[in-house]
Amino acid sequence: MTFTTRPTLRGTFGMVASTHWLASQAAMGVLERGGNAFDAACCAGFVLHVVEPHLNGPGGEVPAVIATADDHIPKVLNGQGPAPAGATIAHFRDLGLDLIPGSGPLAATIPGAVDAWLLLLRDHGTWRLRDVLDPAIGYARAGHPLVPRVTDTVATVRELFTEHWPTSAALWLPDGKPPQPHALFANPAYASTLERLVVEGEAAGPNREAQVDAARWAWRQGFVAEAIDGFSRKAFRDSSGRDHSGLMTGHDLATWTATWELAATMAWNDLTVAKTAAWGQGPVLLQSLAILEALGDPGELDLQTERGIHFTVEALKLALADREAWYGDVLDSPLPTLLSRRYAEQRATLIGALAADGLRPGSPEGRTPRLPEAYATRLKTAWEFSGATGEPTVSGSGQTRGDTCHVDVVDRFGNMISATPSGGWLQSSPTIPELGFCLGSRAQMFWLEEGLTSSLAPGRRPRTTLSPTLVLRDGRAVLACGSPGGDQQDQWQLLFVLRHLAGGQSLQEAIDAPAWHTNSFPASFFPRTMEPRSLVVEDRLGDALIERLARRGHVVTRSGPWSLGRLCAVARDPDTGVLSAGANPRGMQNYAVGR
């Protein structure tokens, strides 16, 4: 029996796995009191805004993939807000910018997380708004013990807050110092925001759905939109080293809403893997699975060997090159071709014995790939930037600076959801004082160059890295999983899926196993760097194996032994009804609960 850091939980009633134990337990409490998986996930989402503010917030976004017990066609909850109407390439060029800053008001897209969670609650939940929001309101009003990572994050941006973002300093630097680890921390302004959403919802009458819609109106067109509109017009320092005002208006919030979409799916073995479409990076996982399948039986790919690691890295590099050339919020996406068996077979022929250098996007449907011009000259930037920039993720040393959140829930009925909330980090933009949260900075993922699939345009979604996963067998959901980690999310999920679904490992075994990833592609976050032939590994792989990988041409960086990935997962056996869950020990925050 393989030793694991925690047991794989098993039961028949309900399972939750998330990136913070308070969110997991709050969601489990909903299941215990008769709520379904979607009520529970919504509750967890709002709790995560409070207890992981360095990783996500109400001003951020959330994509999710769901399957209900009654309708087994996987659906995507689109909680990724687009660029505001004033966000044009010309505007940024007129400001003298070549890249969208990684922090500050200019980098904001329309906040989508709250409207998306409420849309989920309205359409598939059973609980009333007050009951779902009660745990988050309680933690925001009375306080919760801060995880040390929050303190570390605030300390990193302390100078920025005190010198340039006074509203953030007022919230996060009481007495001029970061709050102490594990100290109770309250955000009364955000508690009041949630309480007012509840009051305005209940003013719509006794109907549950009407109450949720009224709260959505208050967010998109009422007091929240009004506060965002006014605050966004103020100028603040951002990662360009200059002060800029934002572009978000109340009209932007009023004219956008979260929506439902069909998932992008691919048949793999006897399973169906469901992801977002190519407006997110989710199809990278699908393409990687298809390329590896073209190389041979996935069940025979030993991820403890030099060959197995080399093949996964090279397959990911090909998929991520296609991401750079072809993924984006565009109408003429070649995604069906990118996911086809024939295309995967063509791509698989490019994998050789040595690590490949450079980007090698394919030519689906005979199209000529186009990459950002910046990468023809290996973009370098002289901008100085603080820890507020980009999406904080796992560093090469293995120290987690932050990143994103994740939550998976399955109930006894067979409802299942995988959701990856992110954005609106406390360090992404100045705090809006009357609301108690800040806007996000996801617009930094756009290019300020015309003609790319990820070029900035008003109303277009950034090509997000957020990538929840749902897996079905015979039309019934069997697995929900995901991980924070920016560009690494689908890389770490690939290893997990191969180990669990092809290799037969339990959820916890697959989560605990040594991880790796590559940075051999343009980063999605400011300052958009690239590390050709890079391979970051947990040093638990062992000296001999790491040396053999280096001889294949991989530029290996050793990370800590437990440093890469923060996977969560829940599963259901539709034949027996047995549920299971696992959560990652890395980062000391993820937790699974269930019975």
Residue 474, C-beta contacts closer than 8 angstroms, at least 6 positions apart:
574
Instruction: Please identify which residue in the block is written with the tokens 């399957």.
Output: 67
Q: Are 322 and 361 in contact (CB under 8 A)?
A: yes
- Euclidean distance between CA atoms 386 and 60, whole angstroms: 20
- For the chain, residues with pLDDT lower than 50 are 378-402
Q: Which helix (H) or strand (E) holds 337?
A: helix 335-338
Residue 591 β-bridge partners: 18
Instruction: Please identify which residue in the block is written with the tokens 């207890």.
Output: 51
pLDDT value for 118 = 98
Number of domain units in the chain:
1
Beta strands 469-473 and 271-275, pairing class: antiparallel
Q: Which two tokens stand for residue 163?
A: 């010198």
Q: Which two tokens stand for residue 509?
A: 């075994």
Domain containing residue 371: CATH number: 1.10.246.130
Written as one letter, the residue type at 101 is P
> For residue 166, what are the CA distances in angstroms to 160, 162, 315, 352?
9, 6, 46, 54
Other CB atoms within a 10 A radius of the CB of residue 367 amount to: 14
- Euclidean distance between CA atoms 561 and 298, whole angstroms: 26
Instruction: Please identify which residue in the block is written with the tokens 């966004």.
Output: 232
Domain with 533, as residue range(s), is: 278-380+484-574
pLDDT value for 162 = 97
- Euclidean distance between CA atoms 91 and 223, whole angstroms: 28
Instruction: Please identify which residue in the block is written with the tokens 């009364």.
Output: 188
Q: Minimal CA–CA distance to 232: which of 407, 373, 107, 50?
A: 107
- Euclidean distance between CA atoms 442 and 391, whole angstroms: 9
> For residue 318, what are the CA distances in angstroms to 344, 346, 349, 483?
10, 11, 11, 21
> For residue 430, what are the CA distances in angstroms to 161, 268, 436?
8, 44, 10
pLDDT value for 527 = 81
Residue 477 β-bridge partners: 472
pLDDT value for 301 = 87
DSSP label of 33: T
pLDDT value for 300 = 78
Residue 400 β-bridge partners: 394
- Euclidean distance between CA atoms 250 and 264, whole angstroms: 32
pLDDT value for 377 = 57
Instruction: Please identify which residue in the block is written with the tokens 């687009």.
Output: 82
For residue 211, being part of any structural domain is answered with: no
For residue 200, being part of any structural domain is answered with: no
Residue 408 β-bridge partners: 17, 418
Residue 11 β-bridge partners: 579
pLDDT value for 203 = 98
Q: Are 107 and 144 in contact (CB under 8 A)?
A: no
- Euclidean distance between CA atoms 497 and 511, whole angstroms: 10
DSSP label of 498: I
pLDDT value for 528 = 84
Q: Which two tokens stand for residue 50?
A: 């409070």
Beta strands in 116-263 (DSSP E): 144-145, 184-185, 235-237, 243-245, 259-262
- Euclidean distance between CA atoms 511 and 490, whole angstroms: 14
> For residue 438, what are the CA distances in angstroms to 41, 108, 159, 199, 216?
22, 10, 18, 22, 18
Beta strands in 348-441 (DSSP E): 407-411, 416-419, 431-432, 437-438
